[in-house]
Amino acid sequence: MKTKKTFAIAASTLLIAGLLAGCVSKDKGSSATTESTLKDGKYDPTITITTAKQQDENAGKYINGESLNDNVMTRWGVDNLGIKIETTLLGGDASNYNTKLRLALTGSEKLPDIVPVYDTSLASDLIQSGQVKEITEDIKNYMPDRLKEIYKQYPTTFNPVVQDGKVYGLAMSPNLSEGEVILIRQDWLDKLNLKAPTTIDEFETVIAAFTDDDPDGNGKKDTYGFDFSGKDSYNTGWVSDSVMIFSAYTGKNLPGQWYNDNGKLTYGSVADGNKEALAKLRDWYSKGYLNMELATQGAWDAIADFTEGKAGIIIGRPWLYDSVKDVEKNISGAKIAVYSTIKGVKEEKTYQSGQLNDGVFMFNKDFNNIEAFFLYYDKLYDAAFGTGDFKYGYAQGYDYDIVDGEVTYDFAKFNKPLEALQALGKMTFTKNTPTVDGPGKSFYDLANGAALDTGVLIKSAGISQTTQDGYVISYEDRDVLLPTAFNGSPTKTMQSSWEQLTTMEKETFTKIIYSKEPLEAYDEFVKQWYEKGGTQITEEVNDWFKKANEVDVMSAMNLK
């Protein structure tokens, strides 16, 4: 990890007061002893729970003169549960947020009651500091049954917050992410009398034609086949991804990711098959089939060529269609269609990264109201299940509306039209709205005739048909999603060597694709990877994996 663990102690005392002032539990805060009692599902008097968010995870624009700590959700919590959430913004991005939380470890200021953490190294350091709460018994005693059923499905999400058999946090809204699909210019396929590719050879035929056979019909050689990003990783996991090509040759060993091969963890970037994948990408790049700036464009930037009609194929999660569909509006006859990813060379499928959660909740060691946290957290899941107060959404006129007796999620058609739906999940202590839809179950159910009787189904039905089609594919292909097998804090050797190894990996892969290094440079990379720390890291990762499976924390939390 890149987060630095050392800070200037002399400066930290001055900084902490300004950075964390809003996070300190006051006299009425839940970290202090409170006489509030829970009666009929509501605390009396109202209790206050503090939390922190990074600036770029804020809810964005507010309406009706509302603000971070005075909005429809904060008022709902007070009115219905007797729980007031106070949020302090820390840092403009993830790195700055982590830095500011680390400053609290060097001084006397307290952490907020709920501490969202997005870095496994920081989670480990918080545990070692003694400033976060051990919650094994709290989960067993206070987590509602509905939440227990969710967390039972994702036992590995506890790995980053377990030490010595004790649990110091829990995943934020665990849920298997949606998978990636191929987005392709269907009008180009039709014009060139081609079918959507299902194998690596068919894929090559299509991208060659998209490059050489003038698919846009303008008489110019100004298009290419496959648009992806190689700036940060060759396994982005969300958009502008090339991992399908690697998996075609490596199977379940994905670049930048650890795979559990019958109880032994292996690192995907040094697995057999990568050299063949690089050879294929190298050949395609030399022929102009790929984005010529792939090494300098990030995942989000790389979508521009597809949106502008220059590229014929891009791979990403189903919602990517709504970010690139302007090509259909701006270019006459343009049509995007979605398809499953191709088969592997040796296997029936290609695989891709699956995400189970984004961050964990940790808690101040003095937090005495974790039962209140679980009460509030469970209520937020009503929106995911389409039950209780949040059958259609969190607040009418904010994230849904009822117009002429019909529920709508089209914010432009609200009784008071909005510029965008309000991200109400972000106005609580979660990063996003909790979901149990997985890779797209609601879309699959709709495609199979489900009645529109919950907000989740109604909202899914209102999304563009192409996006719906993508989610159906995602759900049907959900077995190709592989979460990384290593999600613990960086091992000892990782802390000193991992940045160098990942830089060497990215540079070697890119130089080979660009033909700036011979294909044999991959063999030298693998040799150097093991010699410069990879061997020791592999041993440490496997030692971590063995220990992670020796302790049955799920039973201790009554989650089995």
* pLDDT tens sequence across 210-261: 999 999 999 999 999 999 999 999 999 999 999 999 999 999 999 999 999 9
The residue that leads in pLDDT, 46 or 430, is: 46
Quote the CA–CA distance of 374 and 5 in Å, as a whole number: 32
The residue that leads in pLDDT, 209 or 23, is: 209
Length of the chain: 560
Identify the bridge partners of residue 67 per DSSP, sorted by sequence position. Answer: 70
State how beta strands 481-482 and 352-353 pair.
parallel
What six digits make up the tokens of 291? 């984005």
The residue that leads in pLDDT, 551 or 146, is: 146
**What is the predicted pLDDT for the residue at 117?**
95
63 C-beta neighbours (distance < 10 Å), count: 14
Q: Residue 324 — very low, low, confident or very high, per pLDDT cuts 50/70/90?
A: very high
On the question of pLDDT at 34 being above 70, the answer is no
Instruction: Supply the Cα-derived Rg of the chain in whole angstroms.
Output: 25
On the question of pLDDT at 15 being above 80, the answer is no
**What is the predicted pLDDT for the residue at 199?**
98
**What is the predicted pLDDT for the residue at 1?**
36
Grouping H, G, I as helix, E, B as strand and the rest as coil, residue 418 is coil
> How much of the chain exceeds pLDDT 90, in percent?
83
Q: What is the mean pLDDT of the chain?
A: 92
Output 510-513 pairs: Cβ under 8 A, ≥24 positions apart: 510/230, 510/295, 512/278, 512/282, 513/230, 513/278, 513/281, 513/282, 513/285, 513/290, 513/294, 513/295
Q: Residue 550 — very low, low, confident or very high, per pLDDT cuts 50/70/90?
A: confident
Quote the CA–CA distance of 304 and 227 in Å, as a whole number: 9
Q: Compute the average pLDDT of residues 96-117.
A: 85
What is the per-residue DSSP string for 218-284?
SSS---EEEE---SS-S--SSBS--HHHHHHHHTT--TT-EEEETTEEEEGGGSTTHHHHHHHHHHH
7 C-beta neighbours (distance < 10 Å), count: 14
**What is the predicted pLDDT for the residue at 216?**
97
On the question of pLDDT at 87 being above 70, the answer is yes
The closest alpha carbon to 313, from 389, 377, 375, 244, belongs to: 244
What are 340-386's pLDDT values in tens digits? Answer: 999 999 999 999 999 999 899 999 999 999 999 999 999 999 999 99
What are 466-479's pLDDT values in tens digits? Answer: 999 999 999 999 99
On the question of pLDDT at 132 being above 70, the answer is yes
**What is the predicted pLDDT for the residue at 59?**
54
Identify the bridge partners of residue 336 per DSSP, sorted by sequence position. Answer: 185
* Range scoring the smallest mean pLDDT among 161-170, 424-433, 455-464, 498-507: 424-433
The residue that leads in pLDDT, 62 or 201, is: 201
What are 432-455's pLDDT values in tens digits? Answer: 889 999 999 999 999 999 999 999
The closest alpha carbon to 344, from 246, 271, 272, 439, belongs to: 246
pTM score of the predicted model: 0.90
The closest alpha carbon to 409, from 428, 422, 426, belongs to: 422
On the question of pLDDT at 3 being above 80, the answer is no
What are 306-319's pLDDT values in tens digits? Answer: 999 999 999 999 99
Residue 557 one-letter amino acid = M
**What is the predicted pLDDT for the residue at 56?**
67
Q: Let me know: does 425 contact 434? Beta carbons within 8 Å.
A: yes
**What is the predicted pLDDT for the residue at 26?**
37
On the question of pLDDT at 44 being above 60, the answer is yes
On the question of pLDDT at 23 being above 70, the answer is no
**What is the predicted pLDDT for the residue at 10?**
34
* DSSP designation for 389: G
The closest alpha carbon to 399, from 418, 385, 381, 386, belongs to: 418
* Range scoring the smallest mean pLDDT among 102-111, 166-175, 377-386: 102-111
On the question of pLDDT at 55 being above 80, the answer is no
What are 259-272's pLDDT values in tens digits? Answer: 999 999 999 999 99
Residue 147, Cβ density class (10 Å: 0-12 exposed, 13-18 middle, ≥19 buried): buried
State the residue for tokens 């006299």. Answer: 27
The closest alpha carbon to 298, from 245, 248, 238, 344, belongs to: 238
